[in-house]
A and B are shown apart, each in its own frame.
Chain A
């Protein structure tokens, strides 16, 4: 088995990006809607998670509605220091994601903290650790967030 998703897997992935039902036998409900077998659906999801094609199968949480906070931030890191700074951020629990991007602001990361006040403290900790100014881009309004990926 190569682990590559087949046509049925892709149909399943696309269908499962919507809402998974909160009913006693949710996989049976999904299977019925797609003309598949309940145990086959469960087996396929398990295999897709195992193969890493799905990062996860379950609830997606909204940090802010749970009392926490998130903030997109960016740094302009001198190229010769890039890997060292990336390693520093990798060790900081408040840093949820970090991406290198092609721009003068070349490191983009998301701070996620248990409280709104935690964001400023985390941003200052990054500044103290790196000696670089953290550009803060808090969300002012969200127009869409989803994962509409065509598998």
Chain B
């Protein structure tokens, strides 16, 4: 679990790492910490999964990926983990989760997000998932997003 110094470190870098030759030294100086301590803390947070990774967060829209579809699938509960792992392994699927059904309106228990430059591209990706699931899928749908209403991302307090 993250301690107070970890949280202070994450609060300082969550908006972005300094774009300088020695970013970890710059963060350490700003927080009054030792550079080696900052690096060790980040390594530990990465190893524990509290930091998923360090890297670039692309803006899908600015890269031309203006279409996104939340594909949803109704598969047998006994098979969902096996099928979810297979769908999640497809290189174009950006998120894949098992979630509860909300019957009678919502029979779907497997969610997979796809992105594309055209509506045809997300339709094609949905078809690839449908092929992979085959007879294991009872019913499915795709909910294309039509507007981003809010996007702030995760923020933690210091």
Contacts and interface: CB of A to CB of B under 8 A. Distances in A.
Contact of A60 (B19, B53, B141): B53
Nearest to B84: A143
Contacts of B154: 61, 63, 68, 70, 96, 112
Given A72-B99, A101-B146, A140-B99, A18 B93 contact: no
Interface residues of A, number: 76
Contacts of A102: 143-144, 146
B155 to A, nearest CB: 8
B133 interface: no
A62 B50 contact: yes
Contacts of A25: 21-22
Given A20-B54, A51-B62, A67-B1, A59 B144 contact: no
B94 A147 contact: yes
A57 B42 contact: no
Contacts of A56: 15-16, 56-57, 153
Interface in B1-50: 1-2, 7, 10, 13-17, 19-25, 35, 39, 42-43, 45-46, 48-50
Interface in A134-151: 135-149, 151
Contact of B149 (A49, A100, A139): A100
B156 A61 contact: yes
A53 B96 CA distance: 24
Give the interface centre of A19, A57, A143 by most chain B CB atoms within 10 Å.
Answer: A143
A105 interface: yes
Given A56-B16, A57-B55, A140-B97, A66 B149 contact: no
Interface string A1-39: 000010000001100111110111111100000000011
A114 B22 contact: no
Nearest to A12: B56
Give the interface centre of A28, A66, A135 by most chain B CB atoms within 10 Å.
Answer: A66
A54 B88 contact: no
B40 to A, nearest CB: 9
Contact of B20 (A42, A59, A105, A108): A42
Nearest to B35: A24
Interface of A: 5, 12-13, 16-20, 22-28, 38-39, 42, 45-46, 48-49, 51-63, 65-68, 70, 72, 86, 89-90, 95-105, 107-109, 112, 114, 135-149, 151
Given A23-B39, A139-B99, 12 more contacts: A5-B63, A16-B56, A22-B39, A22-B46, A45-B56, A60-B52, A61-B50, A99-B147, A101-B146, A109-B149, A140-B98, A143-B81
